[in-house]
């Protein structure tokens, strides 16, 4: 069987300990994505097994119908809307999903909060240019960073990642305010935190607001420009979840209007994000290339169950197939 691992941007998968499970198998690792349905269909037409790294490639019905040899789709992390499981089931293509882990994205979220609050990238970059203790060449933006102690962290979405971020904030002496489902707010109160009375209160009261929602049709564009405009003029918006949680152009417009003061982002509406993207042009945006889960320990956790499933499938052993035709 021919196996393809898609979108391994850093060519890191082959260096994982768990990659040894695929030793002796016919494996092709693609570092870069193909543009368009036609190119992708041509690239993948001869493969029996596809290994997806999160949502980097979309396997919709149209693409699946053009992959005649495909027998197994393996997803690192949980399956999302980027894979048409129903279309796979109709073609009797097995689908296996992996496991998730909140630690790496929670730690990255906290790193972004610290870096943006103290303006670490700006100070470091200007120091390399010979400019001492400066955060901007614009006198109006050449301002001091600030500490987190005593300030309010707003968290929208109190799942496993949101809970970890709340614990980090508590360790730094921040007040934590949570908004989300009724169950999430009740759990936050049980954990000793404050539940916002409304979504608007969360935006108004937060010095730092971090989004931790799963993307669905209900949450797509759930944050709009009006709500962003409710934030304090010195507030920070953090998004390490999904760019599509925020309405198109809303964040760019809000940042240009001065509320919030800054944003720290690990996710974008187009990925890989082009250097001409409007948000990358803004001085008050700290951006990272969707690396929430991109680190050594997470990769080992994500890929181990996937490679175990591939190994089992190739050798005729049972796997946990979630694509069952009803």
Rounded CA-CA distance 141/162 in Å is 30
Q: Which strand (E) or helix (H) includes residue 37?
A: helix 36-44
Concerning whether 175 is annotated as a catalytic residue, the answer is no
- For residue 113, which phi and psi values (nearest 5 degrees)? -60, -45
Catalytic residue among 271, 277, 295, 311: 271
Concerning whether 242 is annotated as a catalytic residue, the answer is yes
Q: Both tokens of residue 299?
A: 């990769």
Catalytic residue among 54, 151, 185, 290: 290
Catalytic residue among 151, 212, 242, 301: 242
Rg (CA), the chain: 22
Locus of tokens 């499970």: 21
Concerning whether 221 is annotated as a catalytic residue, the answer is no
Side-chain half-sphere CA neighbours of 7 within 13 A: 19
| Alpha helices (H) in 45-178, listed in sequence order | 61-64, 85-90, 103-118, 120-128, 160-171
Task: Say if CB 264 and CB 105 are below 8 A apart.
Answer: no
Locus of tokens 């972004």: 112
Cis peptide upstream of residue 20 (ω within 30 degrees of 0): no
Rounded CA-CA distance 92/223 in Å is 39
Catalytic residues: 242, 271, 290
């Amino acid at each position: 069987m021919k196996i393809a691992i898609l979108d391994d941007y850093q060519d890191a998968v082959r260096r994982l300990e768990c990659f040894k499970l695929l030793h002796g198998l016919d494996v092709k690792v693609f570092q870069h994505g193909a543009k368009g349905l036609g190119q992708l269909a041509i690239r993948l037409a001869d493969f029996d097994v596809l290994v997806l790294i999160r949502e980097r490639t979309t396997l919709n019905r149209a693409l699946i119908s053009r992959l005649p040899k495909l027998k197994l789709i393996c997803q690192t992390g949980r399956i999302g809307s980027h894979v048409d499981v129903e279309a796979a089931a109709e073609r009797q293509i097995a689908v296996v999903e992996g496991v998730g882990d909140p630690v790496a994205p929670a730690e990255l979220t906290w790193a972004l909060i610290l870096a943006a609050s103290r303006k670490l990238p700006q100070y470091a970059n200007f120091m390399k240019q010979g400019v001492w203790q400066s955060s901007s060449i614009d006198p109006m933006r050449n301002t001091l960073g600030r500490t987190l102690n005593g300030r309010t962290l707003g968290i929208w979405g109190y799942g496993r990642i949101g809970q970890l971020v709340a614990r980090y904030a508590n360790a730094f002496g921040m007040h934590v305010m949570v908004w989300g489902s009724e169950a999430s707010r009740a759990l936050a109160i049980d954990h000793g935190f404050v539940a916002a009375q409304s979504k608007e209160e969360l935006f108004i009261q937060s010095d730092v607001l971090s989004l931790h929602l799963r993307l669905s049709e209900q949450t797509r564009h759930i944050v709009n420009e009006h709500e962003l405009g409710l934030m304090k003029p010195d507030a920070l918006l953090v998004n390490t979840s999904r760019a599509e949680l925020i309405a198109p152009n809303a964040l760019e417009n809000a940042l240009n209007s001065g509320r919030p003061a800054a944003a720290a982002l690990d996710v974008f509406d187009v990925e890989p994000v082009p250097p001409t993207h409007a948000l990358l042009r803004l001085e008050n945006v700290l951006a990272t290339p969707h690396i929430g889960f991109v680190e050594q320990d997470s990769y080992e956790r994500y890929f181990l169950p996937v490679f175990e499933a591939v190994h089992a499938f190739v050798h005729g052993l049972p796997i946990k197939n979630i694509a069952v035709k009803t």
